Structure 1
Amino acid sequence: MDRPGRPELRRTPELREKINAKIRKSRRVTQLQLSAQLRIGVATVNKFVRGLQYRKLCVKWVPTFLINEMKAAKKVAYEELLARYYAEGERFLKNIVTVDESWVSY
């Protein structure tokens, strides 16, 4: 007998497909969110997710360690950019795009 407020216990192929569709729609969805959306227990969601062979991957910031040759190459590049700035002025700065982030998934 079901108690009020308790998630329903359903293990059907339709539920499996619903979970699969929600994961494919939003890869950032958590098992807790799936449990709340589908009104089933977190353990049931966990079993389905493992059965579908999904796993959560973490994206971490990875520190960049530079060897001396890389540091020297960066210094040369910076000096070239500085020389171009002195030659072209503010017009040169408007053409620079910078990126300073590295994303590594493992």
Structure 2
Amino acid sequence: MNSITLPANYNILSCDEMTYTEGGVGVVQAVMAWFPLYGWYKAVSTIHDYRKANINSNWVENGMNALVVHAEKSSLNTIHDAGCSFWFAASCASIIGLVPNALIIFGS
């Protein structure tokens, strides 16, 4: 009898599936983060979601630490996070961009 017996909780994941389970981004997402609208939207929506999930903590400082941890997971994460951070900072540099950012981040 030629069979392999594995534990019931054993799973085989492809490289693409590991990207999602480890919290990484793909090549397309990393490149898209450098396009203004996508990079800005991902940054603002991620900050909104993080603030909402961590409302009772120091979400600004903890969020910056979470950004660093996420960026350190892979080079694609670093490229993605740098692009999103760039477009978020660029939008905050003007009063015109600062108001929509605040409305989205602090909205419910």
Measured against the shorter chain, the TM-score band is: under 0.3
The structure having more radius of gyration, on CA atoms, is 1
Q: Greater strand share, 1 or 2?
A: 1
TM-score by length of 1: 0.26
Higher helix share: 2
Normalised by the length of structure 2, the TM-score is 0.26
Q: Which has the higher contact order (CA 8 A, sep 6+)?
A: 2
